Structure 1
Amino acid sequence: MKCTRTTYETLLIEEALPGVALVNLNRPDRYNAMTNTMFSELEQLAIELNDDDELRVVVLTGAGKAFCAGFDLADADALPSLGALGMLDQQELAARALLALRSIRVPLIGAINGPAAGGGLSLALAADLRLAADTAKFNAAFVKIGLSAGDLGTSWLLTRLIGPAATSEICFTGRLVGAAEAAQLGLVNSVSEPGELLNDALALAQSITTNSPGGVQLSKRALQANMEISSYAAALELENRGQALLTRTSDMTEALAAFKEKRSPVFTGA
């Protein structure tokens, strides 16, 4: 696995397990708050990871006590003076970063190790799966600073995860949602015991890597694409094409042979 050879200012990347990239947001002194540099680096990292054919899963977490505190307010003073088009450029820089992460062809697991606020909540929502530490807290803090929860995909993703009523209440009040409530709502898949978050995230990642790479990737593509269409017939069409493609792969042949021979399959991604 190539992982990445680029050195980043705001991110740390390592191969935690074969085929599993562990990405740390690395501004612990600022609770991993986002800057324009981080947005640019997240977009670049997503492009690099997508080019790695040996990559199977990405785990995203935060260094220190927080996952991500949202946009760094130390850099926010200039925002009101940017003008409409300047602010649009700013929004699109951030949006491209999160879209690039969500569009990585392999599963993205968010290991939410602490507070995820504002844009940090948006970043957590961009993951396919979310595991939370017992210290994790979530809030759509946008209304607390005069902004809208219609930011970086929050209004779209959160509504689909927990429903419109719960989303409205959380977004209108800006209140904190603790780890246990987040699990109850379906915002996270599970809550880890103290000190076990990363182990749990890597165990989940490893369980995914035992499956066929093509099957996992096209499953992610189908799940994401079919959230965005309103037609059952269109969903079936997309699924049909994915299954037809996968039956042409050697991994499908290997899976059938392993079943007949009562052994575990050895997938190659070919």
Structure 2
Amino acid sequence: MAQLSTITVESRGAIDILTLNRPAQLNSVSPDMIVELTAYFSGLHDRPTTRVVLLRGNGPQFSAGAELGSDAFAAPGKGRPQRQLKMQQNYSGVIRLMRSCPQPIIGLVHGAACGAGFSFLLACDVRFAAPDARMNAAYIRIGVGGCDMGSGYLLPRLVGLSVASEFLLTGHFLKAERAKAIGLVSDIVPAEDLLTKGIELAEDMLRVSPMGLRMTKQALNTLIDAPSLDAALMMEDRQQVILLETNDHAEAVAAFRERRSPTYSDQ
């Protein structure tokens, strides 16, 4: 990966720790950050040795949202609508990549997660929050719609339409206690323990077979929009038949019978 200026990536074995790294700008999401996030998440599709990703922010806030003062959003002149659409698609494209990459993503939020930062969290598979975490769909507070970067799709599926509407229609802040109560975050953890909590869950995920982990994320992505129970069952049946034929399934069964930890080959 090229030299990074807005994010950092630390690899600990099969776990990547991805950090938004513009603390002086409260990790506001600039076009340069979008370029780096796009390259990172695109690369994950062809990097099965990375099995879990932790996403966090450096500094006092997770992310203040999009950097509205950048030329990408402010430059006038001919072709402005086309430039704006391209930039919008670049930003929303990160959400698509986060959901389509085979690795589960664990979001670790502290401080404010606004606008684009909020959407990054919604695109994670699991979220843990520090007590001071607060999140909002800031888009509607700046004269545009509350549904942006996947929020109008992801939030209702995570918390239900009524609660999602409450926050998307107002831009109100969602604080940690309420986020846990409605199931948006799995737990509230002291800020200094967030990374440890994320690594613990990631290590639990590493105890399952690599292909099983990837296919489970894929199935969850698909089944949330399954048209019927029958459609869901048919997909699950086919997934299980594929996984039953892997060497890792045989290894997992043998390890269970022998009361030892399995050694997976991703075969």
TM over 0.5: yes
> Is residue 211 of structure 2 the alignment partner of residue 214 of structure 1?
yes
Indicate the RMSD between aligned Cα atoms, in angstroms.
1.6
Match of 2:49, as an amino acid?
A: E
Q: Residues 121-270 of structure 1: matches in 2 within 5 Å? A: 121-270=118-267
Conservation of the 8 A alpha-carbon contact between 1:43 and 1:98: no
2:50 alignment partner, SS class = coil
Partner of 2:28: 33
Number of matched residues? 265
Conservation of the 8 A alpha-carbon contact between 1:114 and 1:137: yes
2:153 alignment partner, SS class = helix
Query: Offset of 1:82 from its aligned partner?
Result: 5.5
Q: What do residues 154-182 of structure 1 show as CA deviations (whole Å, max 9, x unaligned)?
A: 01100011111111111122111111111
Partner of 1:108: 105
Q: Residues 81-96 of structure 1: matches in 2 within 5 Å? A: 83-96=80-93
Q: What do residues 218-270 of structure 1 show as CA deviations (whole Å, max 9, x unaligned)?
A: 11000001113322222222212211111111110011111222222222222
Runs of at least 5 residues in structure 2 that lack an aligned partner in the other structure: none
CA distance in 1, matches of 2:137, 2:182: 15
CA distance in 1, matches of 2:15, 2:236: 26
Partner of 1:9: 5
Conservation of the 8 A alpha-carbon contact between 1:79 and 1:87: no
Query: Offset of 1:55 from its aligned partner?
Result: 1.2
2:18 alignment partner, SS class = strand
Partner of 1:67: 62
Conservation of the 8 A alpha-carbon contact between 1:43 and 1:101: no
Partner of 2:37: 42
CA distance in 2, matches of 1:81, 1:134: 46
Conservation of the 8 A alpha-carbon contact between 1:40 and 1:97: no
**92-101 or 151-160, which deviates more:** 92-101
Query: Offset of 1:42 from its aligned partner?
Result: 0.8
Runs of at least 5 residues in structure 1 that lack an aligned partner in the other structure: none
Match of 1:49, as an amino acid?
A: L
2:65 alignment partner, SS class = coil
Identity among equivalent pairs (%):
35
CA distance in 1, matches of 2:77, 2:178: 35
1:74 alignment partner, SS class = coil
CA distance in 1, matches of 2:181, 2:76: 36
